[in-house]
Structure 1
Amino acid sequence: MSHCLNPNCQKPASNPPTAKFCQSCGTKLLLKDRYRAIKLIGQGGFGKTFLAVDEDKPSKPPCVIKQFFLEAQDTNNTQKAAELFEREALRLDELGKHNQIPELFAHFSQDNRQYLVQEFIDGQNLAEVLAEQGAFNEGQIRDLLNSLLPVLKYIHNHSVIHRDIKPENIIRRNDGQLVLVDFGAAKYVTVSSVRQTGTSVGSPEFVAPEQLMGKAIFASDLYSLGITCIYLLTQVSPLNLFDISEYDWVWRQYLVNNPVSDELGRILDKLIQHTTNCRYKSVTEVLQDLNPTSVQPLSVGHSNTISVGHSNTISVGHSNTISVAHSNTINYASFRDIHTLSHSDAVFGVAFSPDGQILASCSGYWDKSIKLWDVDTGQQLCTFQGLLDGVRCVTFSPDGQILASGGSSRDPTIKLWDVSSGQKKKILKGHSHVVYSLAFTPDGQTLVSGSQDKTIKLWDVLTGRELSTIKYHHWVRSVAVSQDGHILACGSNDQTIRLWNMLTGRQLCTLKGHFFGVSSVKFSPDDLILASGSDDRSVKLWNVHTAEVIYTLNRHSSAVFSIAFSPDGQILASGSDDDTIKLWNVMTGEEICTLNGHSSGVNSIRFSPNGKALASCSWDNTVKIWQCD
């Protein structure tokens, strides 16, 4: 159905889905001749919010329309509402395309009303999650803090205070990512404005004392986030968690079979201090307490949850010196963009065929496609059919005959495709959530998958049978198999990397050092180095034998989503949410160059087998092929 946007329409929801004018009042139904409202999803004194579609795009992706109007009669309220609406547009536009903040698509006036059109976040807000699933536990609160604190740091670095952080304004997308919404109350901070008293805004239950008096500061957002956490832990209104007579928080008294460690309790207590002198001053301070630096030395674990049937072991604990002494005939600093290939939605994965002639790319959400491209010409060869949902990752088998793809939340299956015909060979069922990463063993007989369902699975490629499952305690975002097939590495949202002996099923060690989730892990061609990329904006190179950090590379300004070694092992590439790709000298840890060209975060990068090309894909709906001159 089409929903009329005239606030005075008597039957706004009674229009056919393709109608151009309202059948009740005659109002034009398409905003700017492209945005069609289909359902009212929110309403307040200053406006309405609609679920909509963008009919200017072939896939008609969903979006959100925010319509401004005034039901109140008072002039001051009219001016205030108009200012808040304009402010939200400015804030969203300035904050850019951070993947945890809704993107602003359009801002305009039509029929004497103002409109915002922004990204649709498919998911539930945390108030809805709480009502459906009950109180959060400590692990969920830590995940929430580690996910949202970097977002707060991002907006604070842009001199913006959100001023309305509460469960209703935090949406958990269907892929699990948390998104901060509703910047209507946001305040832009200048040297002069930070000292001025303004209007009190925000929801009283979650607002800091100084904000109630019109003096919001950056720490006010931290206070609101802390209050949100204790509410999610207790399911009790924050107004009832404070003892007026004692002038102190008593939230621990309302924990029901839901213990919180002393460490987390101290962090929450400091977040919700009434006096700003006793509260955390910055996001960085909170993150340091939440994720104290620690590097765990190599230790052999006793996990026997997988069994591949061999008794061989690998040698660990040596003090081998890492050296890279290959002759370099490729000038990596001369990479240039030669092809830009398009999907109709964000592109999450790319992979080169073993002969380097074909590039595969996969897209998510509304595109739901896997495409094969000719690397030399950039021409599309084919599009695989029969996908029920978006695809998060793709990889070729070592012989190039099979392409494996990992599905999203509505179809968390792994599909094996015949590359020559484009037909499905097998569907591997067993995961219950997004499949983030896939890796073949060097002999091509086993496929390893890592999923948001907190498991790693090993599959027999010939039969499609599940061989074994490693049960994890957090999302598995990346898996990699060493070149000799002996070691399995996985990176998780719990900030750690774990190594397993593929032949015996024993866990070898846990690598600790990242502050946030580990998004990507890769072995060097000689298996001496393991590289990891993280949401903490860093890349780390680890000595596989000693489990010690060789280098930490800190030149990205946002999360690192993907990493790749060049075939000769001399270069490491990293793709980031800061829209860039960086190339690093593995031997020295020095940055060689930065590749610019994507207009949004880089989700995946891969070197061609000969090392002379690099493929990247992005949230900007494109795939780029870079080549050395």
Structure 2
Amino acid sequence: MSYCLNPNCQKPLNPLGTNFCQSCGTKIQLLLRNRYRIIRPLSGGGFGRTFLAEDEDKLNEPCVVKQLTPQLQGTNALQKATQLFQEEARRLQQLGEHPQIPTLYAYFEQDSYLYLVQQLIVGQTLRQELEQQGIFSEQKIWKLLTDLLPVLQFVHAHQVIHRDIKPENIIRRQSDSKLVLIDFGVAKHLTTTAITKPGTSIDSFGYASLEQMNSGDAYPASDLYSLGVTCFHLLTRIHPSKLWAEQGYSWLANWQQYLNTSISQKLTQVIDRLLQKDIHLRYQSVNEVIQDLNAPAQPPIIPPPVSLTQPPPSAIGLNQPFERKPLPIAEPELLRSKPYKHQLFPTLAPAKLFKNRLLAGGIILLLGLAGYGYWQSIRNIPTLTGHSGEVNTIAFSPDGQNIASGSDDRTIKIWQLNSRKELRTLKGHADWVYAVAISPDGKTLVSGSKDNTIKVWNLNTRQELRILPDHKSYVNAVAISPDGQKIASGSYDKTIKIWNLNTGQISTLVGHSREVLSVAISPNAQQLVSASADRTIKVWNLNTGKELSTLTGHSGDVNSIAISSNSQLLVSVSDDKTIKIWNLNTGREIRTFTGHSGDINAVAISPDGQAIATGSDDKTIKVWNPITGEEINTLRGHLGPVYAVIFSPNGHTLVSGSADKTIKIWQLPK
């Protein structure tokens, strides 16, 4: 049979070989985009219809085709529906790498309709499973939470809110019984504004939180509410829309009365907090739920209320106007407060306690907490000497065993960290070495120099592999992508270049009006960030070279930037003597803090994101609590400006380089 794709057709099924629909006269499309054959409808209504299809280019492999079918052509509804559909395509492309989210195959327009093709998940929805097998046991609910929460954590980490979590949108995959989260048709990116007007809703009644129903706002806590309602529905077989229609949200206070069987205190506590009507009494992040799942049962802890004029701590509201100003509260998952594992960065006592200095044969730094003390004399700070010029840059090998340093003496030195011995010296640059980076596999080193070139070295053989000479002025910064295939460089010629080592392709990014002083690639390999003497930071798409945003706020040269390991947090330092923390995905400035008395030249983030280190012209290194902005400690010992700071991969060591021609190793207590 052939299927008519006219959404208004009353009898869309036609005999095979029919050119025009026998019911409505619309031309029959045998193959969408010359490859996708429609088999039968799976569902429909709202903004689109979903079909089972076959991909002829993949030996008739089954797939799912979604067609945009707005009810009101030529109205605002059409624009909103189209935008929602496009958002779904973008979200699926972004999220489809997760094995429990459908993969996006194609997105295209044909005959004035939009189509999306995605992976077919073979299995049953939890709604079907409930109808066939009856109410879920407590054990099955625990399994649901254990299986689905990491998926939701992945979604939220990409700044996406699903907005429509319910049993119909969760499929138990037949091949491995894993739960797959589907239907991102109304998902919204955290940086966009609301598509629906306040007071309207495209959410499923009963599953949507109060903030969604009232104003269209959605946060990670909103998805967690829907997850709690889903658990309730599966435990009771009572559809929440019925309770919502009769009682509004008042049923939440007594949800346990609808249970047919008793459940444990621990599960009761978890679901009770998921089902809080007030968003501020609810779980704010998936991490909080997971922590409670792994903790013994105890009376619920209710966080203090937060003003409704500000989004909750775990989210930036979808409908909030974009404001480039510091938030009074921390953003989601970026600045979560927890005790840091090293005593150098305590969180249980005021930071100023750790600024006391004692004189005992030299200045002694107290790096201890409570009864544990860690002492390090300036005279005994491990120091690497050998460069005859200023040390401008430092890089760690992935295993944390070696470091590389670049200097005004035109050399790069490789050092063994534990023995503190110089292993080798790489010579070849004709002028100062400003930047070095080591590939993720530890085999390749890249250096940038005042001689306008980038050199690629084999660390094992010490051989210079190639020279990249396209910049027209000093190369001040280099970075290597996580797969080791791309090199990004920033130059005094005001450009950023991306070098693809596999293809030899070179992309030049233009946008800064002055020298580019620092570049960084996000660990998820999606973004390239550049900082400039023009006092701006630019965020680029690493793969396309498209400029995504420009961050402004510094009043001096932006000398250095660093990205957190989860690709969510960006830190910048400047000649204006400030440190700024930004949400990398939204461009929102989270907070600014100060403390250095000179220009700040370098910044690094600890591997777990719980500490920031900065190096300054004031000859000190300061360590900061990124959550509070408090100065935790000041490390003194260099005799000149500090140009480089870096944490070891395990976070146990901080290394600094200075104009005094030395490298210092600050050993952190484990």
Could you tell me the TM-score, scaled by structure 1's length? 0.48
- Determine which structure has more spread, i.e. the larger CA radius of gyration: 2
Instruction: Report the TM-score when normalising by structure 2.
Output: 0.45
Which one scores higher on RCO, CA 8 angstroms, separation ≥ 6?
1
